Structure 1
Amino acid sequence: MSFKIAIIGAGSVGFTKKLFTDILCVPEFKDIEFALTDISEHNLGMIQAILDRIVEANGLPTKVTATTDRRKALEGARYIISCVRVGGLEAYADDIRIPLKYGIDQCVGDTICAGGILYGQRNIPVILDFCKDIREVAETDAKFLNYANPMAMNTWAAIEYGKIDTVGLCHGVQHGAEQIAEVLGAKSPRELDYVCSGINHQTWFIELRLNGRAIGKDELVAAFEAHPVYSKQEKLRIDVLKRFGVYSTESNGHLSEYLPWYRKRPDEITRWIDMSDWIHGETGGYLRYSTETRKWFETEYPQFLEAASKPIDPARRSNEHASHILEALETNRVYRGHFNVKNNGVITNLPQDAIIESPGFVDRFGINMAAGITLPEPCAATCMSSINVQRMSVHAAIAGDIDLLKLAMLHDPLVGAVSTPEEVWQMVDEMVVAQAAWLPQYADAVPAAKERLAKSKVKTREWAGAARRNVRSIDELHAEKAALKQAG
């Protein structure tokens, strides 16, 4: 087989390498072309060198090109994968810093909540540019695989306004299933059969079977509470399981941002999170992790390049969906996964226009979703709160409507639990002004926002959050890695 895959945001070095090696685990794909594109020539150069080393070490005819000219990368592409972070770490820092001034403490801030909503405003104009290029220069009926957050908003915009065949991909379901299999004592995650459905990062394991035996709420709660690690790291997630009756895919820290109950007071935050790793609820945890990871990669690049000389091992192929979807579409080997698509009747008690995440099967005819799923009412209600915010956020981004953007922010569950309308209005003005370079659709709204900020009497505070950690230096990261290695 010979076709072209374009990866936008290929400077996301570790993730691009994973997707690349996963795809090359499919024997039929050795002759394909990868076209890498990014706005950073520096990052592109590093990732191309790594991928070229992999190709050379494995004696493959695979072609790898890299260019900052996105349209050139997209020319003739059959599949386009996006893993972009619009605004980079600079804008992301504002997504965390500014809401903290108004009492909004986020762990990740990239899906909904204050940071995720602004992230969507930055992404959507760029997503529509991608879609325009795909329509004009890619292969007819090219498929767009979006890995970038905010998943639902990006996918919504690409399908509804970009008019491109799009699927959103995330690994939260796989990770949640691995946890459940572990606490139930399974020898392999493959022993667990499940139906997981909802919206991205609020997906629910509504049916569980271990080796054919149905698993109920009480057994699952007991298994998690008996686990020596998860009982401490997933306190909030276990509490939701007890109250809702089903387990959520999303991590303790991320899930806490989507609900109005657990992060609205500093003392409550520290009660429900765990500081053993950023993902369990640390204030700005993913921003710190991303910053440290970037530093680590830049410093340790020679070792990453050396590691690329190892043979590809198909047994180590990851459970990221992309390679399995491409394999199913191109070879007709059926793949079952969980995909982000427009609802259109898949989930009976969520809106038809919403982007849902639910089970589907892939073969040469495309992605075929399992329709007619009904969520438990508490799960549907929680998803609806986010869907309404997502819809308004997408419409605000398309129209450049700052008033609708403020209303979307006001309706966010955590923002509404913490901040007053006056605070929300000022916070949005402040965020739009700070991020104006990445928000072209709000250019006409920025001068008035600046005037309002100059006259505002809404008080803010400089607050690091309830559980903030400093970004570690390279020396500190080295010391920690050495200590972990010594500990076994």
Structure 2
Amino acid sequence: MSFKIAIIGAGSVGFTKKLFTDILCVPEFKDIEFALTDVSEHNLQMIKAILDRIVEANRLPTRVTATTDRRKALEGARYVISCVRVGGLEAYADDIRIPLKYGIDQCVGDTICAGGILYGQRNIPVILDFCKDIREVAETNVKFLNYANPMAMNTWAAIEYGKVDTVGLCHGVQHGAEQIAEVLGAKSTQELDYVCSGINHQTWFIDLRLNGRPIGKDELVAAFEAHPVYSRQEKLRIDVLKRFGVYSTESNGHLSEYLPWYRKRPDEITRWIDMSDWIHGETGGYLRYSTETRNWFETEYPQFLEAASKPIDREKRSNEHASHILEALETNRIYRGHFNVKNNGVITNLPQDAIIESPGFVDRFGINMAAGITLPEACAATCIASINVQRMSVHAAISGDIDLLKLAVLHDPLVGAVSTPEEVWQMVDEMVVAQAAWLPQYAHAVPAARERLSTSKVKTREWAGAARRSVRSIEELRAEKAALKQAG
């Protein structure tokens, strides 16, 4: 087989390498072309050198090109994969820093909440630019695989306004299944069957079976509470399981941002989170992790390049969906996964226009969703609250309507639990002014927002959050890695 895959945001070096090696685990794909594109020439050259080394070490005919000219990379592509982060860590830092001034303490801030909504405002205009180029220069039946957050908003915009065949991909379901299999004593996730459905980052294991035996709420609660690690790291997630009756795919820290009950007071935050790793609820945890990862990669790049000389081990193919979807579409080897698509009746008690995440099967005929799923009422209620925020956020990003943007932020569950309308209005003004370079649709609104900020009397405070850790230096990271290696 010979076709072209374009990867936008290929400068996300570690993730691009994973996608690349996964795809090359499919024997029929050895003769394809990967076209890498990114706004960073520096990152492009680093990832190209790594991928070239992999191709050389495995004696493959695979072709790898790299260019900052996105349109050139998209020419003739059959598949386009996006893993972009518009505004980079600079804008992301403001997604965390500015809401903190108004009492909004986020762990991740990339899906909804104040940070996720502004992230969507930065991404959506760029996503629509991608879609325009895809329609004009890619293959006629091109498929767009979006890995970038905010997943639902990006996918919504690409389908509804970009008019491109798009599927959103995430790995939360797989990670949740791995946890469940472990606490139940399964040897692997192969022993676990499940239906997991909802919206991205609020997906619910509504049917669980271990070797064919149904697993109920009480058994699952007991298994998690008996686990020596998860009982400590996933306290909030276990509490939601007890109250809702089903387990959420999302991590302790991320889940806490979508519900208005666990992060609205500093003393409550510290009660429900765990500081052993960023993902369990630390203030700005993912920002710290991303900063450290970037610094680590830049310093340790020679070691990453050397590691690329090893043969591809097909047994270590990851559970990221992309390679499995491409394999199913091209070879007709059927794949079952969980995909982000427009609802259109798949989940009976969620809005039809929403982007849902639910089970589907892939073959030559495309992605075929399992329809007629009904969520437990509490799960549907929390999903609908987020969907309403996502819908307003997408419409605001398309129209450049700053008042609609403020209403979207006001209706966010956590923001609404913490902030007053006056605080929300000022916070959005501050975020739009700070991120104006990445928000062209709001250019007309920036002068007035800046003027309002100069006369506002809404009080803010400077604080690090309820549970903040400092970014570790390369030396600290290296020492920690050595200690873990010695202990293991």
**TM-score, normalization: structure 1?**
1.00
Q: Deviation per CA, 1:253-278: give whole Å up to 9, x if none.
A: 00000000000000000000000000
Q: Which residue of 2 aligns with 1:86?
A: 86
Q: Shift in Å at residue 366 of structure 1?
A: 0.1
Q: Tell me the number of residue pairs that the alignment of Structure 1 and Structure 2 aligns.
A: 488
**In 2, Cα distance between equivalents of 1:198 and 1:474:** 39
Counterpart-to-counterpart distance in 1, 2:356 and 2:32: 31
SS state at 1:186 partner: coil
* Partner SS, residue 368 of structure 2: strand
Listed one character per residue, the Cα deviations across residues 360-379 of structure 1 (whole Å, up to 9, x for unaligned) are 00000000000000000000
Deviation for aligned residue 1:190? 0.6
1:8 is aligned to 8
**1:213-232 Cα shifts (integer Å, max 9, x gaps):** 00000000000000000000
Please list the CA deviations of residues 93-130 of structure 1 after superposition, one character each: whole Å capped at 9, or x if unmatched. 00000000000000000000000000000000000000
Matched, 1:51 2:56: no
SS at match of 1:360: strand
Q: How big is each residue's C-alpha offset from its partner over 1:76-106, in whole Å with a ceiling of 9 and x where there is no partner?
A: 0000000000000000000000000000000
Aligned residue in 1 for 2:28: 28
Cα shift at 1:486: 1.2
User: 1:285-310 deviations in whole A, cap 9, x for unaligned?
Assistant: 00000000000000000000000000
Give the deviation of 1:329 after TM superposition.
Answer: 0.1
Aligned-pair CA distance for 1:141: 1.4
Deviations 1:409-435 (A, max 9, x none): 000000000000000000000000000
Paired residue for 1:259?
259
Measure the CA separation in 2 of the matches of 1:191 and 1:113. Answer: 36
State the distance in 1 between where 2:179 and 2:189 align: 9
- Alpha-carbon separation, structure 2, partners of 1:181 and 1:474: 35
How far off is 1:441 after superposition?
A: 0.1
SS of structure 1 residue aligned to 2:386? helix
How far is the alpha carbon of 1:408 from its aligned partner? 0.2
Distance across 1 between alignment mates of 2:37 and 2:277: 32
* Separation (CA, whole Å) in 2 of partners of 1:25 and 1:483: 33
Shift of 1:176: 0.1
The Cα shift of 1:177 comes to 0.3
Counterpart residue number, 1:38: 38
The CA deviation at 1:71 is 0.1
Summarize deviations over 1:45-69 as a string: whole Å, max 9, x none.
Answer: 0000000000000000000000000
Q: SS state of the match for residue 190, structure 2? A: helix
Identity %: 94
Q: Deviations over 1:320-360 (max 9, x none)?
A: 00000000000000000000000000000000000000000
Write the deviation string for residues 462-482 of structure 1: whole angstroms up to 9, x where unpaired. Answer: 010000000000001011111
SS class of match (1:209): strand
Instruction: State the match for 1:362 in structure 2.
Output: 362
What is the alpha-carbon distance in structure 2 between the residues aligned to residue 153 and residue 118 of structure 1? Answer: 11
Q: Distance in 1 between matches of 2:59 and 2:209?
A: 43
In 1, Cα distance between equivalents of 2:463 and 2:425: 19
1:200 deviates by: 0.1
Instruction: Give secondary structure in 1 for the equivalent of 2:166.
Output: strand
- Equivalent residue of 1:225, what SS? helix
**Which stretches in structure 2 are left out of the alignment for 5+ residues?**
none
SS at match of 2:375: coil
In the TM superposition, what are the counterparts of 1:106-117 in structure 2 within 5 Å? 106-117=106-117
User: What is the rounded CA distance, in whole Å, between the counterparts of 2:271 and 2:438 in structure 1?
Assistant: 36
Length-normalised TM-score, structure 2: 1.00
SS of 2:109 mapped into structure 1:
coil
Matches of 1:297 and 1:195 in 2, distance apart?
A: 37
